[in-house]
């Protein structure tokens, strides 16, 4: 049967419409090819993001270094305050002793004067004249009599001896009074120096605290920026930065320990931080905090984790020096000092304090050895000068670890064995038992 013309037209039109639809669909499915400008813009954006991330990480490291330096300066200022306090105490004792000596010299002058007067009175009663007696009793008469040969001849040998003793006593008294005046001036100068040192210590401690607070605040902002650039969360970025900072500190500490062949603490198994943490800053050498250095549970170095958008490869520990052989146990005063220092753990650091409720670093070591029957000076510098010196590689528990920068000794700790120390770290910290922070450690330890 032949199709009707109308039906053929509909079929033809339908075929044409279907072909057109297929053609349109095929055209819309064709991919858009990026231009060279698009590629260049994308690469520039990636490079800009990478540069921003690098700059932020450099700023984080710079902030941590600034906090460390501020804590060291605070420790130096605290030791200067301690030294000024010791100098004032010495000056007060010297002034007091000089005044006592001057008073004793005045008493000797009085006794000698009385003896001269007694001889003169006796001479008058035995026939002397009133003019001769008045010479001895007048203000200048004694000196005139001392130098008057005629008078000596008239009064005899006893008078000559008495006048000589009086002359000598007055000379000694003059010297003693000059020394007392000088000692008093030194005391006043020492008082002024102590006030200046106290102000400087307060200012340095304030600067360290302000620097720490500022860097912590900036750190939070920088981490938020890093999270936005890496398309992660602030919490994950904070954990990553904390791990990177700890890794850097571990490397620095291991390098410093290796440089002086020092015993190091065996690292514990790594543990990811549960919450974001501010970078530790050493104050003076303090717990990774001086002010602090090495943390109480250091994690072994790990390769920085990539952005969370890609799986993180397993951490690859960096080479670390093997733990030193366990040192021989201490005995005697060192063991007793260390044992006593451990009982003070948890008590706050206060500069210039030497117990019983708070300590600075040298105050703690002084009291520890005092309780072991050994007297140490008050300041770190004087303690270093007062002890025997042994290489830090040969330390035994109870030995003293000293820290210095640019020739300034500013911190002291007690070696507790196995790479650990007991010390009073910095303002805001407390006496603690932590791994040794080896940066700035003097190569010679002290053994009282």
Cα 288 from chain centroid? 12
Buried b (16+ CB within 10 A) or exposed e, 78-88: bbbbbbbbbbb
| Annotated catalytic residue, options 147, 177, 389, 411 | 411
For the chain, how many residues are written? 448
- Answer for the pair 366, 376: CB distance below 8 angstroms, yes or no: yes
> How many helices (H) does the chain have, and how many strands (E)?
10, 6
The runs of H, that is alpha helices, within 138-233 are 141-146, 149-155, 157-230
234-259 and 157-230 helices, crossing angle to 10°: 140
The answer to whether the peptide bond before residue 356 is cis (omega within 30 degrees of 0) is yes
DSSP letter assigned to residue 400: E
| Annotated catalytic residue, options 147, 177, 361, 389 | 361
The Cα–Cα gap between 52 and 56 comes to 6
The answer to whether the peptide bond before residue 56 is cis (omega within 30 degrees of 0) is no
| Annotated catalytic residue, options 147, 177, 389, 423 | 423
Annotated catalytic residue 177: no
Annotated catalytic residue 423: yes
The Cα–Cα gap between 177 and 100 comes to 10
Decide: helix, strand or coil at residue 380.
helix
Decide: helix, strand or coil at residue 435.
strand
The owner of tokens 């943390």 is: 295
Give the pair of three-digit tokens for residue 35. 């231009």
Helix (H) or strand (E) holding 361: helix 361-370
DSSP-assigned states of every residue in 308-349: TTSPPPPP-PPP-PPPPPPPPPP-THHHHHHHHHHTTTTPBB
Decide: helix, strand or coil at residue 412.
strand
The owner of tokens 């490397």 is: 251
Annotated catalytic residue 389: no
DSSP letter assigned to residue 441: B
Residues with a known catalytic role: 361, 411, 423
């Amino acid at each position: 049967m032949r199709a009707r013309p109308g039906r053929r037209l509909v079929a033809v039109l339908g075929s044409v419409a279907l072909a057109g639809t297929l053609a349109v669909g095929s055209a819309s499915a064709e991919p858009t090819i990026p231009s060279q400008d698009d590629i260049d813009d994308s690469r520039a954006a990636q490079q800009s993001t990478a540069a921003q991330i690098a700059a932020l990480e450099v700023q984080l490291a710079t902030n941590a270094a600034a906090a460390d330096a501020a804590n060291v300066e605070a420790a130096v200022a605290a030791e200067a305050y301690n030294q000024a306090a010791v100098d004032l105490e010495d000056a007060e004792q010297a002034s007091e002793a000089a005044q006592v000596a001057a008073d004793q010299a005045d008493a000797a002058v009085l006794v000698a004067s009385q003896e001269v007067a007694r001889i003169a009175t006796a001479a008058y009663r035995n026939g002397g004249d009133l003019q001769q007696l008045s010479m001895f009793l007048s203000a200048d008469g004694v000196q005139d009599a001392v130098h008057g040969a005629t008078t000596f001849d008239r009064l005899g040998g006893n008078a000559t001896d008495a006048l000589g003793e009086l002359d000598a006593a007055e000379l000694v008294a003059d010297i003693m009074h000059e020394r007392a005046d000088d000692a008093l001036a030194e005391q006043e100068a020492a008082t002024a120096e102590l006030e200046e040192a106290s102000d400087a210590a307060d200012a340095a401690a304030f600067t360290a605290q302000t620097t720490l607070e500022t860097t912590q605040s900036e750190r939070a902002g920088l981490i938020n920026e890093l999270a936005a650039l890496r398309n992660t969360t602030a919490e994950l970025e904070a954990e990553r930065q904390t791990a990177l900072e700890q890794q850097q500190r571990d490397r620095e500490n291991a390098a410093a320990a290796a440089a002086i062949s020092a015993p190091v603490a065996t690292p514990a198994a790594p543990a990811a931080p549960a919450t974001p943490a501010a970078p530790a800053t050493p104050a003076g050498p303090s717990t990774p905090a001086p002010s602090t250095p090495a943390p109480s549970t250091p994690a072994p170095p790990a390769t920085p984790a990539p952005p969370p958008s890609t799986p993180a490869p397993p951490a690859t520990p960096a080479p670390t020096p093997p733990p030193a052989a366990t040192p021989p146990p201490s005995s005697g005063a060192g063991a007793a000092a260390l044992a006593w220092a451990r009982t003070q753990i948890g008590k706050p650091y206060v500069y210039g304090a030497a117990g019983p409720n708070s300590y600075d670093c040298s105050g703690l070591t002084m009291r520890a050895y005092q309780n072991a029957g050994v007297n140490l000076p008050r300041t770190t510098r004087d303690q270093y000068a007062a002890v025997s010196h042994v290489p830090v590689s040969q330390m035994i528990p109870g030995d003293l670890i000293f820290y210095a920068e640019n020739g300034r000794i500013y911190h002291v700790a007690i070696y507790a064995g196995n790479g650990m120390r007991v010390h009073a770290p910095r303002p805001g910290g407390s006496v603690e038992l932590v791994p040794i922070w080896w940066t700035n450690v003097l190569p010679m330890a002290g053994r009282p």
